[in-house]
Structure 1
Amino acid sequence: MGAAQLPAAGLLWWVVADSGTDDYGAGYGGAFGLLCLFLFAPLVLPVLGLLHAVLHPLPALVLARRAARRVPGPEWARHLGGVALLGTAWAAPVTLLWGGSYPATAVSLSLLGVLPVLGVARLRRRYAREAQGTGRAWRARSVWLGSAPVSVALLAAAFLGALLASVTGLLTAYEPPKLSAGQLAGVWRGDDGAVLRLLPGGRARGTALPTRAGSEEPPGTRDFVVCGGDGTWRLDAPERQGERDGVLLRLDRDCGRETVWTIGGTADEPELFVLFGDPDAGDVRILTRD
C-alpha cells in the first residue's frame, strides 16, 4: 500500500512545487522527467515502497506496540500517532536539505504513512478471519495485484484534484514582474563574476558577461561567449502575447551579438536571465540586482 500512493504523491508534489515558480523557459517544467518516472514506475515503486516502509511505517509500528501499555485504544490508532510523530521528525532534515515550509513538510510526510497503516490494519483483520476459518487464504502476490487499482485510483484523484485547483485559482501560474526602465537601472550580478551595469540613459557596462555567440564563432563551440566592455541597452517589451519583457543589450566590442536578458524573479527580488542552447538541456544564466 505504501508504494501504491507514491505516483499520486509524486504528481501532487510536482504540481505544487511547479506552481507559481519561474521555469526560465527551460524544458517542460519537469514534466518530461515526471513522465519518465511513471514509465519506469513498475521497476522503481517496489524499491521506493520498501524504503519508505523501513524508514516510516515500520518504526512507527514499533513505537505503537511499545506504547500499548500506556496508551489505550486500537493498535491502528497508536500506529497513526507513531506515523505522525516520525513524519514530524523526518521533516526537519528534509527541510534543511531541500528547503520549504517545515509545517507543510511535516504534514505531507505524516500523510504518506496513513495509507500503509490502514492497509496493515486491513491485512491483520484478514489474518484473523483466516485463522478462524471464515476467510479465504491470501498470498503476497494478491497484495501487489490489489495495490495496482488503488494506485491508479489515487493517481486519477490527484490529477483531477490538481486540475480543479488550477481552474479555481487555488494554484496560480507564475507571473513575472513588470519593471520600468528606471527600475531596471542599477548593478546586476551573476555567478562566475558576471556584472552588468545598466546606466540611466541607455548606456551599459559588462564584466565577464555571458553573451550570445556570434556567427563568426567556429561551429561546435558553446552557445555563448564571455564578453566585457561598454554598450547600450533598452527595455524590450514585445507586443505579442506570451512573450516576456527583457533587457536588449548590445556591447560595442566585436564580441558576441545582442542578447535579450529576460525579466524574472519577483517585484521585490527581480532577476535577469538568458537561456543559452537547447531549451530541454540549455544553460541558464541568472543575474540578481544589488
Structure 2
Amino acid sequence: MTSRTGAGAGGRMSVAEKGGRPRAVGRDGTVALVVCASQLGALLVGFDVFQLGRTDEYGRPGGSSLGLLFTMILGPPLLLVLGMAHTALMTMPADLLGGAVARRAPGGPGQWQAAFALVLAAVYAIPVAAAGAPYVPAVAWIGGSAVLPLLGVALLHRIERRRGRAPGAGAVCLASLCAGVLLVLVSVLACAIALATGLVGHYTPPRLGETRMYGVWRSGDGLTEIRLAEGGRAELTGVPYESDFQEVFCDGGSSWTYRPADGPAGGTVELAPVDCPAMSWTVGGTEERPELYVLFGDPDVGDVRVLTRG
C-alpha cells in the first residue's frame, strides 16, 4: 500500500509530517501579500481622508479630492507591487525561518517568527537610518509591518490544522480580500471619528494680547517688515498686497488695530496705511513663536507670507 500521509487530493501536499506546519508556501505568500497590500492601502486611504478633513495652521486644506482620486486609481497596482516585495523580503523569510527553528527548538512558531521579523527589521533599517531617519523608530515601523501578514498566515495554518486540509486558492484570495476591505473601512472610519472629535488635526492659534504685538515683525528673507508701536502707530517696509491680481508692495506709515481671536480663528492685525489700501494680517504660530501671516491667491493652494517677531 502507498502511504498518503500529508497528501491531499491529486497528491498535493497540504500539511507537513511534523508539527502540523503547512507545506503550501504559495498560499502563505498569497495571504501575506494581500494582507500587506491591504494594510498599506488602509494607511494610504486613511491619510488621504485625514488630509481632506483638516486644514493647516494657515487655513489651507491639507489634501484634495483629486489626490484621493489618484490614490484610488493608481494605488491598487502600486500596493500590489509593494505587497509582493514585502512578502518576499520580510513576511515569508520570517515565516519559513521561524517555522523551521520551532520544529527543532523550544518555543512556538509565532515567537520565532516575531524574533526573525525583528532581526530582519534591524537589518533593513540600516539603509533607512543612513538616509537620515531615526534608527529605532525605523526598526519599529518595519518590524510592525510584518505583524498583520504573519497573523494572517498563522490564521491560515490554524484553519488547515482544524480542517485537516488546505482551503482552496479561491477561498484564500476571497477571504484575504474581504479582510483587506474591512481593514480599509476601519481605517477610514477611525480617521473620520478622530477628525470629527478633534482628537487629531485640530490647530488652536495663540491667544495674544495687544501688548504682545508690539515690536518688529519681519519675513525670513528680511525684505518685509512691520513695526507695531504703542498708540496704534506702525511703519511698513516692503509689505505685499494684491492689486488687480498683481502683487505690489507698500512702504510708509500706517495705523494699526489688534482684533482678538474669535473662537477657533486667530486674532488679526488691521493695517490702514496712508498710501496703500487697508490690509489684514492673521495671528498664527504658537504661544512661544507667534506669527503674522497673509494668504495670497487661491485659498486651497495660495501663497502664504509669514512674519515672525524679532
Q: Relative to 1, partners in 2 of residues 1:79 and 1:287: Cα closer, same or farther, differing over 3 Å?
A: farther
> Counterpart of 1:138?
169
Alpha-carbon shift at residue 273 of structure 1 (Å): 1.6
> Counterpart of 1:289?
309
Q: Which runs of 5+ in 1 are unaligned?
A: 216-220
Alpha-carbon shift at residue 183 of structure 1 (Å): 0.8
> 176, 186, 207: which is aligned to 1:178?
207
8 A Cα contact 1:234 1:247, kept in partner: yes
Trace 1:77-156 onto structure 2 (pairs within 5 A). Answer: 77-84=111-118, 87=121, 90=125, 93=128, 107-123=140-156, 134-138=165-169, 144-156=173-185
Counterpart-to-counterpart distance in 2, 1:25 and 1:11:
22
Match status 1:213 vs 2:236: no
Counterpart-to-counterpart distance in 2, 1:17 and 1:173:
12
Q: Aligned to 1:4, what secondary structure does the other structure show?
A: helix
* Residues 86-122 of structure 1: CA deviation (Å, up to 9, x unaligned): 55674994798579xx877765544322111123334
Q: Relative to 1, partners in 2 of residues 1:105 and 1:198: Cα closer, same or farther, differing over 3 Å?
A: farther
Trace 1:20-39 onto structure 2 (pairs within 5 A). Answer: 22-27=56-61, 29-30=62-63, 32=65, 35-39=68-72
8 A Cα contact 1:237 1:244, kept in partner: yes
Alpha-carbon shift at residue 278 of structure 1 (Å): 0.8
Counterpart-to-counterpart distance in 2, 1:260 and 1:97:
40
Match status 1:157 vs 2:180: no
Match status 1:225 vs 2:243: no
8 A Cα contact 2:233 2:256, kept in partner: yes
Q: Taking structure 2 as the reference length, what is the TM-score of the superposition? A: 0.67
Partner amino acid for 2:110? Answer: W
Counterpart-to-counterpart distance in 1, 2:235 and 2:206:
24
- Is the deviation greater in 243-252 or in 79-88? 79-88
Q: Relative to 1, partners in 2 of residues 1:16 and 1:38: Cα closer, same or farther, differing over 3 Å?
A: closer
Q: Aligned to 2:300, what secondary structure does the other structure show?
A: coil
Q: Aligned to 1:263, what secondary structure does the other structure show?
A: strand
Partner amino acid for 1:46? Answer: L
> Counterpart of 2:83?
49
Q: Relative to 1, partners in 2 of residues 1:177 and 1:118: Cα closer, same or farther, differing over 3 Å?
A: same
8 A Cα contact 2:45 2:68, kept in partner: no
Q: Relative to 1, partners in 2 of residues 1:57 and 1:232: Cα closer, same or farther, differing over 3 Å?
A: farther
* Residues 146-183 of structure 1: CA deviation (Å, up to 9, x unaligned): 33321221122223334554566644722111111211
Q: Relative to 1, partners in 2 of residues 1:157 and 1:136: Cα closer, same or farther, differing over 3 Å?
A: closer
Partner amino acid for 1:287? Answer: L
8 A Cα contact 1:87 1:110, kept in partner: yes
Q: Aligned to 2:56, what secondary structure does the other structure show?
A: coil
Number of residues paired by the alignment?
273
Counterpart-to-counterpart distance in 2, 1:188 and 1:195:
8
Q: Which runs of 5+ in 2 are unaligned?
A: 1-34
Q: Relative to 1, partners in 2 of residues 1:64 and 1:188: Cα closer, same or farther, differing over 3 Å?
A: farther
* Residues 39-87 of structure 1: CA deviation (Å, up to 9, x unaligned): 2233332133234445644565587579769974233322223434555
Partner amino acid for 1:115? Answer: L
8 A Cα contact 2:272 2:279, kept in partner: yes
- Is the deviation greater in 36-45 or in 11-20? 11-20
Q: Taking structure 1 as the reference length, what is the TM-score of the superposition? A: 0.71
> Counterpart of 2:6?
none
Counterpart-to-counterpart distance in 1, 2:137 and 2:49:
15
Aligned alpha-carbon RMSD (Å): 4.2
Partner amino acid for 2:212? Answer: Q
Match status 1:264 vs 2:298: no
Q: Relative to 1, partners in 2 of residues 1:37 and 1:7: Cα closer, same or farther, differing over 3 Å?
A: farther
Partner amino acid for 1:259? Answer: M
> Counterpart of 1:218?
none
Partner amino acid for 1:231? Answer: S
> 215, 231, 234: which is aligned to 2:257?
234
